[in-house]
Every structure is written in C-alpha cells, then in structure tokens.
C-alpha cells in the first residue's frame, strides 16, 4: 500500500514534501492499527491456566470482547487466584461499563449481577494493594450495597491501617441521652449517642455485648433500646475501632421507680372539735407535691414528710371527705380520701375511684369503722376486680391496706413496697406503720401487662406474720390494628441455590430464616403448612424452583400480600444470600437485602440469618403517625424519610374506639381500634409523605387527625 501511494505522488515533483508527509502518517496509522490489533487479541484470547484439574480463564461460548465477557473471565481468573489477569479483565470491563449493578441486562431479557468494582477491589486486597482495594470497593458501594463489598472494605481498611500504622488513638463515645444519672418510671429507655474515630469505628459495645457494624465508619450515631427493671440499672457503653482499640467506657445509672408514695394518714378530732390530719408520707425517690382538697402543702422535697395539718371545725366537715394526692419526683402518684364519721373517729384513706368521677346518683361508699375496731386485715383496690379485660400495656395498681395489729410488710407480686434502705426516714416510717394499728396505708405501683392473662397478687403481713392475700387476674387484649394479623403478610419460599456447596443449604436457610422473621414480629409470616397446602393443590414438588412469577402465583393462593424469594451462592469458603420482598399485587420490589458469610455452616451462620431478617425490619419499620391533611383519594401523613418511610410502604388508617368501662367499678379499661382504610406511600419527603387511599373499610372517610400505622 505504501508503494502505491509513493508512486502516485512521484508523478508530480511539486508535491514531494507533501508526499513524504502523507507516507509517514500512513505508516504510523498502519503500525498503530497492527499494534492495537495485537494487543486486543492478546486481551481477548487471554491465558488459560490449569490448577488441580480445573481450567481458569476459559470462557463459555464465543468471546466477543464485551463488558460481560471480560467480567466473567475476570471472575474465573479471580477464582483461581490469578490476580493480575483478573485485574486486567475487570479494568477492561469497567472501561466499557463503569458502575456495579444488580440485574444488569446483557442481551434481550437476560440479566446478570455485575460487580467489577467490587471484584477488582477484592483482587487488589488479595494482591496486598490495600489503598487501591479501598478505592474500588468504595466505588462499588456508591453504586449498590452488597455484604461482600462491605466485608472486604473492612478487611482492606484494617490491613491498610496495620501497614501504615497511622491509627494511634482510640475512638471516643458520647451519650446525648440520658444523662449519666437518670430516674424514670418507664419500662425501657432509648440510649442515644455518637461514636467517633480518626479512621474507622467497627462496633458499639452495649453492656459488654458488641454490636458490630456491617461497614466501619468514622462517625456512627446510635439509638439502642434497653429494658429496665425496678431499682438501679447500670448501662455501660464503649466503642471499638477497626484495629480493636476501645474507647473509655461510659456508664449510665438509671434508677427506675414505678411506685407511688406510701401515704399513711388519719384524721383526729381534738377536744375543741377541730380536725387534724396526721401521719407521714414516704417515697423511695423523693416527694415533690402534696395536696389536700387541691390545697398544696409547702414543704422541702424529701423522702419522708410528716403530716400534722389542721382542717377547721369537725361540725363543718363531718360528712365531707378530705381528698389527698401525693406525687414523687418521677411523676408517680398516690391519691385517696379520708372520710370522717359523725362519731369523730378517724377513718382510713379510701381509693379515689370509690368516689364517683362523674355526676351520678350513687352515694360515696365509706368504711364503717377502722381495722382496730373490728380486728381484721383488709385490702382495697382502686377499680380493679378479678376477671377484667383491658387494652392497656401497663396498669397502675392502686389501693389501701390496713391491719388491726399494724403493718409489717406489703408486697405486689412478691416485691415489697416498703422501704428497704436503712436510714432515719425509713426507720421512722416503719415504726409508725406498726404503732398506728388499724390505720390505712394507701399505695400505688405501675406494672407491665403481658398479652393474655396476668395474675396480680397483693400480700399484707402483720408483725405476728399473719398474712392476708388477694389475687386478681387481668387479661390484656391487643387492639386490632396492633395485632400481628394486621401486619403485612409475607410468604417465604425456599431460595434457589445458584452455586452449591457440598452441604445443601436450601432447607436450612428456609427453616431458620422463617424462624428469624417470626421472631422479629414485624411481618405476619405465612408458615410451611400454608405453603405445603398450595403446593399440594397445584401439584408442585417442594424441591421446585420458585422464581418470582411462580412465587407470586402461589403467594396469591396463600392469601399473602408479599413474597420473600432469593438466591443462595455457596462454596467451601463462603455463603452469599440475596433476598427480595416483592408485592404480589403489582410485582413491586419493596426491599432487597443480602448477606455474605465467610466460612461454613455453623452456629455463627444461624445468627447471620437473624441479621438478614433485621435488615428487612429496619427497611420497612413498624411506625405510627397521623393524617395531617386529606383530599379525595389521598392523605398527607406526618412521617417521612427521617422515620425511614419509603415509597410503596403500606399503612392502615385507624381511629380509637370509645373506651370501655367496668360495669361494677367504673374503671376505664382502654380502647380497641377501628380500621378505616388502606394506604400506600407515593411521594415521600423528609418529614411527611403523600399516600394514595387504596381501600376504605369504614362507612366514613379518612379525616385529618386519624392515626396510621405501618402495615
């Protein structure tokens, strides 16, 4: 070709210079084309290695030098530990398609999971190039989350810091709430704070139990819920960085006081006919407020307050009860009435609910005589009686007790309400209980109710160890909207094993992942019996593969709203699971989560399945809000991205039913709920979202002020 070009230009001597230029340029182009062809061929053909009877770098089908060809061959090289060859192919793939993606389309309707950044990062980690590994693994996570990328990014960061020795200081942890010393009457507390490190925090340690982060970070905000028992609770927190250095521990002391003040009062009439209320009030924490007939007493906050309060002429107040209410520093309250008789004798405090709270023709019930006069012991409860059903999650057990021989001990469910600490205040109060025989002691205590039957036992012991006991059974009912049956129905199907290990994982994962979802109590899980029923009806084997189309069909027959399906890829070195929760109605993917586990099938892997279930719970949190605005067919809800609300989430709109009252005592037993409608989140903002009203279950439409709960 060069000779032809040279001959044509030699016919015209005036073009000599230009001719030489053209000849040189054509030569350069030809050489470049040949070199590029040779280099391309070398990459396209690649090397084929044999190790232990297996070939690496040998691809199936025709190598077309497309992004997926380089990616699959890179995976083959990586599996055989031929790192440099794998890195070359992954970089070629990235030149043609730069971002990691699940279900990347290769041709037609054929999709693959494409992770060249992640796999290149892992190759660099294995080659000891930790800085490069971190770069590509971070690039992978910027495109799509995967447990494998997070695990190897943590490994790369740890190896890089060990190599560079840059990290010399331990992390720090700070608690925003609660303060270091805190008092409450709640049954749990949410501890909130932040952990920081110059490089990477890997775990937060709560009471000695590490809560490992899936991905290490420089700063981690945490919010952890702790159950609280009555009395002193000590919570210890630490943070740990990726090299294992721990922060100084932070200790929080939470005192739990669910008992109202103990009120030991009586009314006396002196010779002049004037009334005087005497006795004492005691609380384990501190008393902050005492009122008689809504008149507040002035006193210094303390654990013990001695009462010696005049109330005017007996003739003016003979039939008028003296109402008292005492409050402690936490907000626990004890109240009642002291009723005077015409005879002038003092009468015991009676529970508040013995006095009608609304206008009624019922008269006030009074106690005719003190315990000392009738030589008996007595236990009176405020509004409570055996066999009540209620909707509350906790209950304040209030009432009064008396004993003709004095009071030695008072317990609720075997826990004493009397002060145990030995100090002057305690000794004075206990002495008073024994000396003032026949006088009534008013009390209150908040207890937590479990779903179903709860037995409450009140035991009164006198100084001679005579015991009077009262048992009542309360059944706690769950409002309809908060029952597990009202939550999102999920049918779990056995996952597909894409790459099998020597040990079958399909049934193991199905069984224990189902248990994990049931234990989370976030979804209404349809179990194996429902699945077996439809498999038998459809004449489908339990060993069948459940792709999305088949799972949705079977899930619909099971009466489910969603299906959980997934894939398992395993070897002797790792187990990888990818799961997705799909809405049956429109095949919308509500959530996709994965896990990556290095090692075989052992006890640790069972806990990993709990973590996978937790990821779905956190992605679709069980939260409550309210309707702030409504139009025809839509509603605005006061929840948003700040509460992890996502498009497609389902909600139930509801209202509280009218409260029910005990027909005998008049006690409020709580309210059930009425489900009004079914909503789906459409437009989600930071603090609110717009929802479509998909269905109405009530005669009335949804109004502003109605409540909503995630389905």
Which two three-digit tokens encode residue 296?
A: 């507040």
Residue 41: pLDDT band (50, 70, 90) is very low
Task: With a cut of 80, say whether residue 178 has pLDDT above it.
Answer: yes
- 478 phi-psi bin (left φ>0, alpha ψ -120 to 50, beta other): beta
Q: Are residues 274 and 423 in the same domain?
A: yes
Q: Which residues contact 433 (CB under 8 A, 6 or more apart)?
A: 264, 406, 407, 408, 418, 441
Q: Are residues 276 and 411 in the same domain?
A: yes
Residue 504: pLDDT band (50, 70, 90) is confident
Nearest alpha carbon to residue 494 among 420, 566, 549: 566
pLDDT at 1: 45
CATH of the domain at 702: 2.40.10.410
pLDDT at 377: 81
Nearest alpha carbon to residue 692 among 636, 618, 641: 636
Task: With a cut of 80, say whether residue 587 has pLDDT above it.
Answer: yes
Q: Are residues 543 and 673 in the same domain?
A: no
Segment among 319-328, 500-509, 614-623, 665-674 with least mean pLDDT: 500-509
Could you tell me the pTM of the whole model? 0.83
pLDDT at 599: 80
Task: With a cut of 90, say whether residue 356 has pLDDT above it.
Answer: no
**DSSP codes of every residue in 88-137:** HHHHHHHHH--S-EEEEEEETTEEEEE-HHHHHHHHHHHTT-HHHHHHHH
pLDDT at 3: 46
Assigned domain for 442 exists = no
Segment among 126-135, 170-179, 276-285 with least mean pLDDT: 276-285
Task: With a cut of 60, say whether residue 611 has pLDDT above it.
Answer: yes
Kindly state the average pLDDT of the residues 329-345: 75
Assigned domain for 160 exists = yes
Q: Are residues 422 and 285 in the same domain?
A: yes
Question: For residue range 424-483, what is the model confidence (pLDDT) as tens digits?
Answer: 888 999 999 999 888 899 999 999 999 999 999 999 999 988 999 999 999 999 999 999
Share of the chain above pLDDT 90, in %: 72
Q: Are residues 411 and 268 in the same domain?
A: yes
Residue 642: pLDDT band (50, 70, 90) is very high
Task: Tell which wins on pLDDT, 694 or 269.
Answer: 694
Q: Are residues 601 and 488 in the same domain?
A: yes
Q: What is the 3-class SS of 261-306, one letter each residue?
A: CEEEEEEEECCCCEEEEEEEEEEEEEEEEEEECCEECCCCCEEEEE
pLDDT at 27: 53
Assigned domain for 327 exists = yes
C-alpha of 519 from chain center: 12
Residues forming a β-bridge with 172? 196
Peptide bond into 250 cis (omega under 30): no
Question: For residue range 551-578, what is the model confidence (pLDDT) as tens digits?
Answer: 999 999 999 999 999 999 988 889 999 9
Alpha-carbon gap, residue 268 to 273, rounded angstroms: 9
Question: For residue range 215-257, what is the model confidence (pLDDT) as tens digits?
Answer: 999 999 999 999 999 999 999 999 999 999 999 999 999 999 9
Task: With a cut of 80, say whether residue 603 has pLDDT above it.
Answer: no
Q: Which domain holds residue 554?
A: 482-612
Q: Are residues 191 and 147 in the same domain?
A: no
pLDDT at 342: 39
Assigned domain for 533 exists = yes
Distance separating the N- and C-terminal Cα atoms of the chain: 76
Q: Are residues 24 and 50 in the same domain?
A: no
Alpha-carbon gap, residue 707 to 626, rounded angstroms: 4
Q: Which residues contact 461 (CB under 8 A, 6 or more apart)?
A: 407, 408, 409, 410, 411, 467
Residue 49: pLDDT band (50, 70, 90) is very high
**DSSP codes of every residue in 562-593:** EEEEEEEEE-SSEEEEEEEEEETTT--EEEEE
Share of the chain above pLDDT 70, in %: 87
Alpha-carbon gap, residue 78 to 91, rounded angstroms: 13
Alpha-carbon gap, residue 367 to 314, rounded angstroms: 18
Task: Tell which wins on pLDDT, 266 or 609.
Answer: 609
Assigned domain for 652 exists = yes
CATH of the domain at 146: 1.25.40.10
**DSSP codes of every residue in 337-362:** EE---TT-----EEEGGGS-SS--SP
Assigned domain for 462 exists = no
| Host H or E run for residue 134 | helix 130-143
CATH of the domain at 509: 3.40.50.10610
Looking at the structure of the chain, the number of domains it has is: 6
Task: With a cut of 60, say whether residue 590 has pLDDT above it.
Answer: yes
Nearest alpha carbon to residue 433 among 409, 410, 407, 459: 407
Task: Tell which wins on pLDDT, 243 or 18.
Answer: 243
Q: Are residues 545 and 585 in the same domain?
A: yes
pLDDT at 575: 92
Residues forming a β-bridge with 252? 235
Using DSSP bridges, classify how beta strands 377-381 and 394-403 pair: parallel, antiparallel or unpaired. antiparallel
Which two three-digit tokens encode residue 368?
A: 């005719």
Q: Are residues 282 and 424 in the same domain?
A: yes
Q: Which of 268-272, 499-503, 535-539 has the highest mean pLDDT?
A: 535-539
**DSSP codes of every residue in 545-565:** ---HHHHHHHHHHHT-SEEEE
Task: With a cut of 80, say whether residue 586 has pLDDT above it.
Answer: yes
| Host H or E run for residue 314 | helix 314-317
Instruction: Using the 3D structure, point to which of 256, 271, 289 is the last residue of a domain.
Output: 256
Which two three-digit tokens encode residue 632?
A: 């025809």
Instruction: Using the 3D structure, point to which of 110, 131, 164 is the last residue of a domain.
Output: 164
Task: With a cut of 70, say whether residue 387 has pLDDT above it.
Answer: yes
Average per-residue pLDDT for the chain: 87
Q: Are residues 296 and 398 in the same domain?
A: yes
Assigned domain for 453 exists = no
Kindly state the average pLDDT of the residues 390-397: 96
Instruction: Using the 3D structure, point to which of 208, 233, 256 is the last residue of a domain.
Output: 256
Q: Are residues 323 and 394 in the same domain?
A: yes
pLDDT at 376: 66
Task: Tell which wins on pLDDT, 606 or 677.
Answer: 677
Which two three-digit tokens encode residue 294?
A: 């809504």
Assigned domain for 456 exists = no
Task: With a cut of 90, say whether residue 289 has pLDDT above it.
Answer: yes
pLDDT at 267: 81
């Amino acid at each position: 070709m060069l000779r032809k070009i040279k001959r044509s230009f030699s016919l015209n001597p005036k073009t000599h210079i230009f001719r030489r230029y053209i000849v040189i340029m054509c030569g350069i182009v030809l050489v470049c084309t040949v070199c590029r062809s040779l280099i391309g061929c070398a990459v396209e053909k690649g090397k084929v290695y044999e190790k232990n009877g297996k070939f690496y770098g040998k691809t199936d089908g025709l190598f077309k030098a497309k992004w997926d060809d380089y990616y699959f061959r890179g995976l083959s090289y990586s599996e055989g530990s031929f790192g440099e060859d794998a890195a070359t192919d992954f970089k070629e793939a990235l030149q043609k398609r730069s971002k990691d993606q699940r279900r990347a389309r290769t041709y037609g309707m054929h999709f693959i999971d494409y992770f060249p950044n992640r796999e290149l990062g892992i190759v660099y980690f294995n080659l000891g190039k930790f800085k490069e590994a971190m770069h590509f693994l971070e690039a992978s996570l910027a495109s799509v989350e995967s447990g494998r990328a997070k695990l190897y990014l943590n490994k790369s960061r740890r190896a890089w810091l060990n190599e560079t020795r840059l990290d010399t200081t331990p992390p720090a942890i700070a608690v925003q709430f609660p303060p270091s010393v805190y008092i409450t009457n709640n049954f749990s507390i949410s501890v909130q704070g932040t952990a920081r490190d110059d490089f990477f925090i890997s775990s937060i340690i709560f009471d000695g139990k590490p809560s490992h982060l899936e991905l290490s970070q420089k700063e981690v905000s945490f919010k952890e819920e702790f159950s609280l028992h009555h009395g002193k609770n000590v919570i210890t927190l630490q943070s740990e960085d990726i090299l294992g250095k721990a922060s100084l521990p932070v200790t929080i002391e939470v005192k739990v006081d669910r008992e109202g003040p103990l009120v030991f009062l009586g009314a006396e009439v002196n010779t002049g006919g004037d009334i005087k209320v005497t006795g004492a009030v005691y609380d384990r924490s501190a008393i902050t407020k005492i009122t008689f007939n809504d008149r507040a007493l002035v006193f210094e906050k303390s654990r013990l307050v001695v009462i010696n309060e005049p109330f005017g002429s007996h003739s003016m107040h003979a039939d008028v009860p003296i109402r008292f209410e005492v409050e402690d520093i936490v907000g626990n309250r004890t109240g009642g009435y002291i009723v005077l008789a015409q005879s002038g004798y003092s009468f015991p405090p009676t529970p508040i609910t013995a006095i009608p709270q609304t206008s009624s023709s019922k008269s006030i019930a009074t106690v005719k005589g003190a315990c000392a006069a009738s030589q008996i012991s007595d236990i009176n409860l405020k509004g409570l009686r055996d066999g009540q059903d209620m909707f509350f999650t906790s209950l304040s057990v209030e009432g009064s007790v008396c004993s003709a021989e004095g009071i030695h001990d008072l317990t609720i469910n075997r826990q004493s309400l009397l002060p145990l600490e030995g100090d002057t205040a305690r000794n004075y109060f206990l002495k008073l209980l024994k000396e003032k025989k026949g006088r009534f002691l008013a009390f209150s205590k908040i207890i937590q109710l479990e779903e179903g039957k709860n037995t409450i036992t009140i035991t009164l012991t006198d100084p001679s160890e005579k015991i009077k006991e009262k048992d009542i059974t309360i059944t706690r009912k769950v409002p309809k909207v908060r029952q597990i049956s009202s939550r999102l129905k999920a049918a779990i199907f056995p996952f597909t094993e894409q790459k099998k290990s020597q040990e079958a994982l399909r049934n193991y994962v199905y069984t224990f992942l189902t248990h994990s979802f049931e234990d989370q109590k976030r979804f209404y899980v349809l179990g194996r019996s429902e699945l077996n029923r439809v498999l038998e009806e459809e004449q489908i084997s339990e060993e069948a593969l459940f792709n999305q189309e088949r799972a949705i069909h079977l899930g619909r027959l099971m009466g489910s709203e969603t299906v959980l399906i997934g894939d398992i890829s395993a070897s002797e070195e790792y187990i990888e699971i990818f799961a997705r929760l799909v809405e049956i109605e429109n095949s919308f993917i509500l959530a996709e989560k994965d896990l990556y586990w290095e090692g075989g099938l052992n006890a640790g892997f069972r806990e990993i399945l709990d973590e996978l279930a937790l990821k779905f719970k956190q992605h679709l949190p069980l939260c409550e809000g309210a309707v702030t605005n409504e139009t025809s067919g839509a509603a605005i809800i006061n929840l948003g991205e700040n509460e992890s609300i996502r498009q497609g989430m389902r909600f139930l709109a509801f209202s509280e039913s009218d409260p029910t009252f005990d027909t005998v005592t008049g006690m409020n037993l709580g309210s059930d709920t009425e489900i009004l409608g079914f909503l789906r989140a459409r437009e989600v903002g930071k603090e609110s979202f717009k929802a479509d009203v998909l269905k109405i279950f009530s005669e009335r439409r949804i109004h502003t002020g109605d409540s909503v709960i995630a389905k």
